[in-house]
């Protein structure tokens, strides 16, 4: 099953990220209800339950290594579209 939404936790906040077109629907609902894609981590268990109950697949985002993060950043910075901004 394709993942619709991923999340990462950093202290008191958890941030959600859409991973599919279907996931964008629930992602936008989270933003509409909270004003951002972040929730308090204390509410994570309940929010995950609601997301899964609504039929979406969700999983914790894997952490990137520094090497992976640097590679992604270099791709972004070297993208011709970025230079046009």
HSE of 63, CA atoms in CB hemisphere, 13 A: 4
- Whether residue 20 contacts residue 4, with contact meaning beta carbons closer than 8 Å, is answered with yes
Residue with tokens 């011709």: 80
**Would the CA dihedral through 63, 65, 66, 68 be positive or negative?**
negative
- pLDDT (tens, 9 = 90+) of the chain, 85 residues, equals 689 999 999 999 999 999 999 999 999 999 999 999 999 999 999 999 999 999 999 999 888 778 887 887 888 778 777 666 5
Domain boundaries, the chain: 5-83
Q: Which residues contact 71 (CB under 8 A, 6 or more apart)?
A: none
**What is the Cα–Cα distance from 84 to 81, expressed in whole angstroms?**
5
């Amino acid at each position: 099953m394709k993942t619709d939404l991923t999340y990462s936790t950093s202290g008191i906040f958890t941030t959600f990220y859409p991973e599919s077109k279907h996931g964008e629907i629930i992602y936008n609902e989270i933003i509409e209800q909270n004003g951002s894609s972040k929730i308090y981590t204390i509410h994570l268990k309940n929010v995950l339950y609601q997301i899964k109950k609504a039929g979406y697949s969700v999983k914790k985002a894997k952490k990137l290594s520094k090497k992976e993060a640097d590679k992604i950043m270099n791709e972004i910075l070297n993208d011709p579209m970025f230079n046009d901004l």
